Each structure stands twice: as C-alpha cells, then as structure tokens.
Amino acid sequence: MPSSSFIASLHLDPGEPAERDLVIGFYDVAFYTKWSASRRPLEVFRLFADYFIHSGQLIDLSGGYFVKAIGDSGLFVYPGATDDQIDNAIGSSLNLHCEVDSWIRAGASGCRVKMQLNWGTVACGYVGAAADKRFDIYGSVVNETALMRPDHFALADTLHRRASKSIQGQFIKSPTGIWELIT
C-alpha cells in the first residue's frame, strides 16, 4: 500500500479514482537481458527483489511512491501540483538514480540504470482483482514516459519547463527532444 503521507498528499477519496498532477518516473536496467542470460533465474530474482526493496525505500523516504516493478523496470510517482513538489521530485530522482545505479553495478556487473521523468495529469486509484487491489496510474503521460529512451537520466520537455532554472541548467536537449542530464 502507498505510504500514508503519499496518499494524504493526493487527497483521494477511498475507493474512488481521481485525476492528479504527478511526476512520473520509470527506471530500468540497461544490459539486463545479456546479464541475466548467464545467471540462474533464482539469482536474478533475488537480486531484483532486493533492488526494488532498496529503491522503493529511497522513493518512499523522499516523499514519492514506488508503484510497481515490471521485470527489470520500476514505475514511481511524486506529487507534482506545485513548483516545489516538482523540484523535490526531480532532485529526489537524481539522488535515487545515483544510489540505485551504484547498487546495481555492484550486483550486476556490466549493467547500469537509466531513468526518465515526466509530468502531467494522470488517473490514480486502486485496480486489480477484488481481493487484491493495488495503487496504479493511467494516462497518456504514463505511456509517453515509458516510451522515452534516455542515455542516462532524462526529463520530458513538459517537466523540464516546470523545473526551476537551477535544475533546468543541469540538462541539455537531445536530438530526440528529451532533456538529458549533463554528465
């Protein structure tokens, strides 16, 4: 279940989906397929179970919420109704990226983490089987975020425009139209 502070920040009515402005993030492990092909399935499972526990805790501690794991990818959200919330989400995600990239490189040699963020209105609430409803998000901005292809860490143009000038200055526009972190 989402942390109570995250749910409180969304002001959701229990059982009712709602539209909210959120910062949406996806992260996945580059070179996962090659790395996992030479490992036993249980070794891969254990590493990624720990990886998502670790990353989920970091997201929760910084005011966001880990929505779900999808293979070697994770989906998370942060409140995004105000400029301060947007800057917090980007700053927290930069810290998250550094932490999980180091963590995965130590456990899965040759792999690295790529992360992409976007901002917009999503539908959020609980979906699933009657006995197992889980928090999730839907909307075109979620799909757009999932389809971004960053080299390292990137922001969609809509999020980059909402960020403070000091954060904007850390990124450069790529030929694909996304804003890549200057490394």
Number of domains the chain is built from: 1
Kindly state the DSSP code that residue 162 receives in the 8-state scheme.
H
Q: What is the CATH number of the domain that holds 106?
A: 3.30.70.1230
Map residue 137 onto helix, strand or coil: strand
Q: Supply the pLDDT for residue 143.
A: 97
Q: Is residue 174 part of a domain?
A: no
Residue ranges making up the domain that contains 25: 17-150
In this prediction, the residues of the chain whose per-residue pLDDT falls under 50 are 1-2
Q: Which two tokens stand for residue 33?
A: 């397929």
Q: Supply the pLDDT for residue 1.
A: 47
Share of residues in the chain with pLDDT > 90 (%): 83
Pairing of strands 134-138, 153-155: unpaired
Beta bridge partners of 180: 154, 172
Q: Supply the pLDDT for residue 12.
A: 72
Q: Is residue 109 part of a domain?
A: yes
List Cβ neighbours of 59 (8 Å cut-off, separation of 6 or more).
Answer: 65, 66, 76, 92, 96
Q: Is residue 164 part of a domain?
A: no
Residue type, 148: M
For 74-124, the pLDDT digits (tens) are 999 999 999 999 999 999 999 999 999 999 999 988 999 999 999 999 999
Q: Is residue 168 part of a domain?
A: no
The per-residue DSSP string of 77-136 comes to: EEE-SSHHHHHHHHHHHHHHHHHHHHHHHHHSTT-EEEEEEEEEEEEEEEESSTT--EEE
Q: Supply the pLDDT for residue 91.
A: 97
Q: Supply the pLDDT for residue 126.
A: 87
Q: Is residue 173 part of a domain?
A: no
